[in-house]
Amino acid sequence: MINKKFLFNPNGAVKNIMKADISDEWRAFILNTRESVCEKLGVSGHRLICDCFCDVLGTDIEEIKQRSRMPDIVLKRHIICWAVKNLSPMSFTQTGFILERDHSTIIFASKRVFNLLSNKSWGDDYVKTVVTEAITKIRSELKINEVEYVSKEEYLKALDVIHRYQAQQKLTT
């Protein structure tokens, strides 16, 4: 069950997930997993995320941290950058530090994977399959069962209410 306070906290990763052109089912799946990782593991959740994604990708974290530019390794690195950033409470800078990359690399990787997961993408089924399998593995490790459906419209409506409230508070002070 998604905690409404968590969901509507206009945090960077949550905003990016809500703005991404992905289906509401994907959005709920990702947000629900992110909330559970944040609640149960906090910032140490990156270890579980890296382990699960590396297992599904058939690689290890040392290969991801290498400076290789081989396309298959670059794609795996981007997927893991996206996962650590969007499924844990880590900032771009913190994620970059863990994966031995610059924060701008993490930003690019996150955008690239969101594009590959998007509804308009020509459909890189490999990325969608990897992400689904790894998130399912994370969910089984954390014993998460249900996914609460929250539409993009509901999120944007609540975000608008929050922004109007914040603007009103600024006017009264």
What pLDDT, on the 0 to 100 scale, is given for residue 6? 46
What pLDDT, on the 0 to 100 scale, is given for residue 1? 39
Q: Write down the domain spans for the chain.
A: 11-160
What pLDDT, on the 0 to 100 scale, is given for residue 159? 65
Look at 168 and 109; give whichever has higher pLDDT.
109
Residue 59 sits at the vertex; the CA angle it makes with 53 and 60, to the nearest 5 degrees, is 85
Q: How confident is the model at residue 120 (pLDDT cuts 50, 70, 90)?
A: low
Q: How confident is the model at residue 118 (pLDDT cuts 50, 70, 90)?
A: confident
Name the superfamily (CATH) of residues 11-160: DnaA protein, C-terminal DNA-binding domain (1.10.1750.10)
Q: How confident is the model at residue 41 (pLDDT cuts 50, 70, 90)?
A: confident
Phi and psi (nearest 5°) for 121?
-60, 150
Give, in order, the Cα–Cα distances in Å from 140 to each of 25, 36, 103, 124, 136.
18, 11, 30, 25, 6
143: pLDDT strictly greater than 60: yes
* pTM passes above 0.95: no
Mean pLDDT, the chain, as a whole number?
81
What pLDDT, on the 0 to 100 scale, is given for residue 78? 95
Encode pLDDT of 73-94 as tens digits: 999 999 999 999 989 888 889 9
Encode pLDDT of 47-76 as tens digits: 999 999 999 999 999 999 999 999 999 999
Mean pLDDT, range 140-163, rounded to an integer:
70
Closest residue by Cα to residue 31 from 19, 48, 44: 19
What pLDDT, on the 0 to 100 scale, is given for residue 31? 81
